[in-house]
Amino acid sequence: MKPETIKGTMEKAYGSALPKPIPYEGTFDVYENVQEVRSANDMPNDEEVVTIRNQQRRNNARQKFMQAALDAADIKKPTLESSVELRLKNIVDSLVANGKSREKALEIAYAALDITPEQVGA
């Protein structure tokens, strides 16, 4: 087994926005090959295999159905070229990651994009 680290930032929890982003991080061990799984007696049984595969199929189907519904409603995925909100978020996230306060990052981003908060519904 080898250690693997997971880290990220939560901006929402329990269906609501958090007052401020909360970082999380932790390390866990992952198998490197199937022999390690067998040696640890951690192989899925037949019922677990069916559950795993059905969940994968369910998730895949859900994504296809959701995309088809969005396509039918003519809702396009925002891109940096098409969405001022996405450009603003990208700049603010980068500046905050570089140590700026959110308020200062917003100020810089609005100036860089030559926009006002009203233009993005803020």
Q: Are residues 8 and 20 in contact, defined by beta-carbon separation less than 8 angstroms?
A: no
- pTM more than 0.85: no
The pLDDT tens digits of the residues spanning 10-39 come to 999 888 889 999 999 999 999 999 999 999
| Structural domain count of the chain | 3
**Residue 113: which pLDDT band, with cuts at 50, 70 and 90?**
very high
Q: Nearest-CA neighbor of 9 among 20, 19, 27, 21? A: 21
Beta partners for 30? 2
Q: Are 61 and 92 found together in one domain? A: no
Q: What pLDDT, on a 0 to 100 scale, did the predictor assign at position 16?
A: 84
Q: What pLDDT, on a 0 to 100 scale, did the predictor assign at position 17?
A: 87
Q: Are 82 and 122 found together in one domain? A: yes
Q: Are 103 and 84 found together in one domain? A: yes
Domain span at residue 35 reads 1-43
**Residue 104: which pLDDT band, with cuts at 50, 70 and 90?**
very high
Q: Are 39 and 58 found together in one domain? A: no
Q: Are 36 and 49 found together in one domain? A: no
> Where does residue 63 rank: exposed (0-12), middle (13-18), buried (19+ CB within 10 A)?
exposed
Q: Which amino acid is at 40?
A: A
Coil, strand, or helix at residue 23?
strand
Instruction: Count CB neighbours of 70 within 10 A.
Output: 12
Q: Which amino acid is at 41?
A: N
The pLDDT tens digits of the residues spanning 39-94 come to 999 999 999 999 999 999 999 999 999 999 999 999 888 899 989 999 999 999 99
